[in-house]
Chains A and B, each alone.
Chain A
Amino acid sequence: MNHFDEMTAFLYLDGQLERTQASEVLAHTAECAECRVLLESLKRETLWIEQSLQEKDPVPARFAAPARHANVRWGWATALAMAIAGVLTLWNGVVEPFEHQLNQAGFSGGNLMTMLFFSGAFWKGWSSLLAFFGFFAGTIFCILALVFLRRFWRRGIAVGVVLASFFIAALGLPVFLTAPVAEASEMVHGHPSYTLPAGQTVNTDLFVAADFARIEGTVNGDVISWSEEIQIDGHVTGDVISMARELRVNGQVDGNVRSYAQTVSLSGSVGKNVLSACQDFELGPNAKVGGSVTLGCGNAMISGSVARGITGAVGDTTIDGSVGQDLKIRGDNLRIGPSASVGGVTKYTGRHEATVDPGAKLASALAFTQLKEGPSYSSWRYYWHRAEFWGAAFLFGLVLLLLMPQFFGDVVRASKNVLPSLGFGILFFFATPIVAALVCITVVGIGLSVPTILIWLVAVYAAQAFVASWLGEILLGPALGTGPLLGRLALGLAIIHGLEILPYHVGFFVHLIVFWWGLGAMAMAAYRHLKRAAVVAPPVAA
């Protein structure tokens, strides 16, 4: 046999030759020194290349294993501290004042009934609602604590306890829902109108749905109504709760009047408090309110008497009646007429100065605060508020991240597709409330649309957390582990909230874009999630 070529020698060494060919090479090598040398040097070259390539050269710091314990603990400690701070700020800044205001407006104890449509049940009493929120918050923090402890526990136990607490929450919910529901009530549908004639008495709560409802008789309970127009000329011993275009109370209501309407006019007497969100509110000259009046409306004309205070956010307010305690108004214009009297302090925050007739009797001078356009940069409180909003957003992001880490990661990844995210986001941002409002036309639809709107609100608020994490990852590189991810979240939120300080509503537009963007990313991630669940993932395809 002749000498073999280098290719044959190479393939022989790599074990790639057919058996017959290989034995030929072997036989030839036994007698040919020259080819033996070739094989030897090729073998040595292989070894040399292998050793050269496999020699370990230094790895850049970001790929080398860092001293992770220090990092992670710092991350957790910071996150925990921020979370606690966030809870305290939220509690002091939002929940407590809110509860205080509710108490002032008479929303305490079991004296009032309000309507909240939820799974077909009516909730009586804000206090139980507040208790529910307290309970809900408590549950979330239990879960947070468990998630935190999970690192030291066996996974199974922690998951079990979390599930158990959800179970308890689920058991607790129906208790809160069902306990305050009215024991017995009468429901009437009137087409097109319903009238409770004078002299007749209903001894339970009365639910009215009609185009035009008129109560001339007596109701020994609450009146709850969805009607286009409702007029109460008779006597209601409980509360009047109404969603109507027009509500007129000429008779006597011993309890509270709560209404959402276009026009509300009261000329009779209300034993307790009045709460109204409306376009026009009128308290006639002969009207008497035994408690306080709380308003959110376009125009308010108060000529009657209010035993306690008036609090309101009202465009144009005219006071020409008597107010037993404080008068606190925020709005565009305030006019205090000659027959007005205010027993407590008079506070007005508005765009234009108030006009006070010299004949008006005010127990203390009017305290006026000019409402300014745009942020007040000189006040430290402004920055403190911005920091509070930032803390609240971070806290919310933290809860999201810990409760559903995978979805969180998916949404952050989906945020990278900026334009599709924005497109979907804009669609959902506008379409959801419109659809919910349309569904609301039917009574059954309310049960569907109220939760939809609530979820939509939560989603819009959550949007910033995802965009912020995306922003943080752009600046600091991809996050590894929960601690660093929280750091990126905090940084991103700080930037987004920092931009809010810019004048000319730049911050508003930034936030709007962030809302759209994050909302769209959430929609895309949810869609992918559903699709993934539907299609079985293919095996390894590297």
Chain B
Amino acid sequence: MKTGSPKPEENQAGVTELVARARDGDHDAWAEIYMQFAPGVFRFCRRAMPSKEDAEDATSEVFLKVRSKLDQYDASRPFNAWLYRVAANHCWDLLRRRRVRQDLETGDVETMPLEHPDPGQLEQLIAKKSREDVRKALEQLPGRTRMALTLRYYSDMSYDEIAETLGVRRAFVGVLLLRARHQLRRSMEQGPESQSHVAAGSKI
């Protein structure tokens, strides 16, 4: 899994020691952990959540959660991976609890378009839109769609990990991802003015 921390492998030994100290109640060790990982966790939450404010709240909550769960962390596994799992689960919990468009989303999952898309149109879109446009379009997407894209293309999670985090069958992850990409394409084609409309009512 890719994460916000620069050199996870190099740091692992140091991080394990920090975590052990934080678990024993060393406030300075905890501060160190926070400073090292908060930017990365924030960036993850920024992708997963619809707004900056949501991402800030989620980040704080993730660290509160991690602090109280430090006892459960298994030191033989990478801290990074565990931390981001907690973050992913927390963000998904938040999104799910809001139940925005949840009913629509879970509706017709099996009806996927099987036709060839127009590659020319796709190339045009890639050429025309900036990376910032992609991020803006992402914000407008429904929670699960955005979450799926974030887990796959930001955190580089495997299909298994995505299935576990989102609580779906593994066979469904591919469908979910491709459908998410369709929604992203459509959202960008329609431009920012109609993006809210896409988010509000789109069904593939």
Contacts and interface: CB of A to CB of B under 8 A. Distances in A.
A10 B154 contact: no
Contacts of A532: 71
Interface string A407-437: 1110001000000000000000000000000
B73 to A, nearest CB: 6
Given A16-B159, A54-B154, A542-B89, A10 B72 contact: no
B114 A5 contact: yes
A478 B64 contact: yes
B112 A7 contact: yes
The list of the 3 closest CB pairs from A to B, nearest first, reads: A406-B25, A481-B31, A52-B134
Contacts of A37: 119
Interface in B64-114: 64, 68-69, 71-74, 77, 82, 85-86, 89, 112-114
Contact of B114 (A7, A46, A479): A7
A51 interface: yes
Given A45-B126, A65-B39, 7 more contacts: A7-B114, A7-B178, A52-B131, A54-B154, A56-B43, A59-B42, A538-B72
B193 interface: no
B194 interface: no
Contacts of A49: 134, 149, 153, 181, 184
Interface string A49-72: 111111111011011111010001
A484 B27 CA distance: 10
30 contacts: A5-B114, A6-B113, A7-B175, A10-B177, A11-B174, A16-B174, A44-B122, A44-B123, A45-B181, A46-B153, A48-B126, A48-B131, A50-B154, A52-B131, A52-B134, A53-B138, A54-B154, A56-B43, A57-B43, A59-B39, A59-B42, A65-B36, A68-B35, A406-B24, A413-B68, A478-B63, A480-B27, A480-B35, A481-B31, A537-B72
Interface string A211-248: 00000000000000000000000000000000000000
A480 B31 contact: yes
B42 A407 contact: no
A45 B159 contact: no
Contact of B39 (A14, A64, A481, A540): A64
A404 B24 CA distance: 10
Contact of B119 (A5, A41, A55, A482): A41
Contact of B26 (A405, A537, A539, A542): A405
A100 interface: no
Nearest to B66: A542
Nearest to A477: B60
B144 interface: no
Contacts of A387: none
Contacts of A11: 174
Given A41-B123, A63-B39, A540-B77, A485 B149 contact: no
A38 interface: yes
Contacts of A40: 119
A505 interface: no
Contact of A66 (B35, B131, B134): B35
A385 to B, nearest CB: 32
B183 to A, nearest CB: 12
A5 B82 contact: no
Nearest to B122: A41
B10 interface: no
Interface size class of B (residues with CB under 8 A): 35 or more
Given A408-B25, A481-B30, A53 B47 contact: yes
A3 interface: yes
B149 A63 contact: no
Nearest to B150: A53
B28 interface: yes
A65 B38 CA distance: 8
Contacts, number: 148
Contacts of B2: 54
Nearest to A408: B25
A541 interface: yes
Given A68-B31, A413-B68, A540-B73, A50 B153 contact: yes
> For the complex, would chain B's binding face be called helix, strand, loop or mixed by DSSP majority?
helix
B115 interface: yes
B59 interface: yes
Contacts of A62: 56
Contacts of A16: 159, 174
Interface of B: 2, 24-28, 30-31, 34-36, 38-39, 41-43, 46-47, 52, 56, 59-60, 63-64, 68-69, 71-74, 77, 82, 85-86, 89, 112-117, 119, 122-123, 126, 131-132, 134-135, 138, 149-150, 153-154, 159, 174-175, 177-178, 181, 184
A63 B114 contact: no
Given A5-B114, A68-B31, A540-B72, A53 B56 contact: no
B25 A45 contact: no
Interface in A195-220: none
Given A6-B114, A482-B27, A540 B82 contact: yes
A7 B179 CA distance: 9
Contacts of A477: 60
B27 A541 contact: no
Given A37-B119, A480-B27, A53 B134 contact: yes
Contact of A51 (B38, B47, B64, B131): B131
B31 A44 contact: no
B27 A481 contact: yes
Nearest to A539: B74
B38 A63 contact: yes
Contact of A479 (B27, B52, B86, B150): B27
B25 A409 contact: yes
A5 B149 contact: no
Contacts of A413: 68
B60 A478 contact: yes
A39 to B, nearest CB: 9
A537 to B, nearest CB: 5
Contacts of A64: 38-39
Contact of B72 (A406, A408, A485, A541): A541
Nearest to A49: B153
A9 B58 CA distance: 35
Contacts of A56: 43
A32 to B, nearest CB: 11
Contacts of A537: 71-72
B72 A53 contact: no
Interface string A430-464: 00000000000000000000000000000000000
B152 to A, nearest CB: 9
